[in-house]
Amino acid sequence: MDHSTHSTKESGDIPIPMTDSKSSKASSPLMPATTNKTAKQPPVSRLKRGLGVVDFILRICAIVTALAAATAMGTTSQQLPFFTQFFRFKADYDDLPAFTFFVIANATAGAYLVLSLPFSIVCIVRPHIIGARLMLLVFDTIAVPLVTAAASAAAAIVYLAHNGNSNANWVAICRQFDDFCQRVSGAVVASFITSLIFVVLVIVSAAALRRN
């Protein structure tokens, strides 16, 4: 006679298939299949989901600022109303290599951000995923120095353009090219904001990567 099956039928509970007595004493009974598993999210999942939402919103803000910086710098062109016989006084963004690099770097950062939006959505939907988060961390870590470099190189040139440098005999061109300077300075500010947002994105990814 098999005692284990006899006991389950006597009690009148849901017939849970139990193994032989030795192993059944060691293991705890299996839960019935009717438990609602999605009734309440554990707090860790909610925290990671919240961080994912913050990440997504910050990415959208960074797209706006990066593309604004790139277009503001890329559409600069000021021509002074006077000119000599041989020379036309015009200032473009591609007169200075630092500004060209600035436009390229910010456009690249904007494109990367747009492409990373689906991964960010995946991190919201599945809060415990590691691969996508780690990949976002890697690329965000590369994007921080790229955008910072572009912003600060352009800032150095803008500072020179505003103040000149008597030791090197460099003339402050902003006195003549007014609109050009204002536009370029605004683009530099937007790029610094983008860089700050990238730093925050790295921190958010790192905080969400922790295994609790």
Partner 1 sequence: MKPAALQLGVAPPANRGLAILDFFLRLIAIVGTLASAIAMATTNQTLPFFSQFVRFRAKFSDLPSFTFFVVASSIVTAYLVLSLAISILHIAKANVVNTRVLLLVLDTAAMGLLMAGSAAATAIVQLAHNGNNKVNWFAICQQYNDFCKRVSGSLIGSYAGVVVLILLILLSGVALSRR
Site residues, partner 1 (CB under 8 A): 91, 95-98, 130, 133-134, 137-138, 141-142, 144-145, 148-157, 159-161, 165, 167-171, 173, 195, 199, 202-203, 205-207, 209-211
To partner 1, the closest distance from the beta carbon of 110 in angstroms equals 19
CB 190 within 8 A of CB 63: no
CB of 40 to partner 1, least distance (A): 25
Nearest to 144 by CA among 207, 210, 66, 82: 66
* DSSP secondary structure letter of residue 42: -
Tokens of 44: 């860790």
In 3D space, the residue among 52, 78, 74 whose CA is nearest the CA of residue 132 turns out to be: 52
For residue 51, CA distances in Å to 118, 172, 193, 195 come to 15, 46, 20, 19
Q: Which is nearer to partner 1, 69 or 161 (CB)?
A: 161
In the bound state with partner 1, the residue whose beta carbon lies nearer, of 49 and 177, is 177
Whichever of 46 and 90 has its CB closer to partner 1, that residue is: 90
Cβ closer to partner 1: 111 or 149? 149
Q: Which residues pair with 104 in a beta bridge?
A: none
Shortest spacing between CB 67 and partner 1, in angstroms: 21
161: nearest Cα among 65, 76, 67, 82: 76
The distance of closest approach from Cβ of residue 61 to partner 1 in the complex, given in angstroms and rounded to an integer, is 18
| Minimum CB distance to partner 1, residue 34 (Å) | 30
Who's near 150: CB < 8 A, 6+ residues apart?
Answer: 101, 102, 104, 105, 106, 191
Which residue lies nearer to partner 1 by CB, 91 or 190? 91
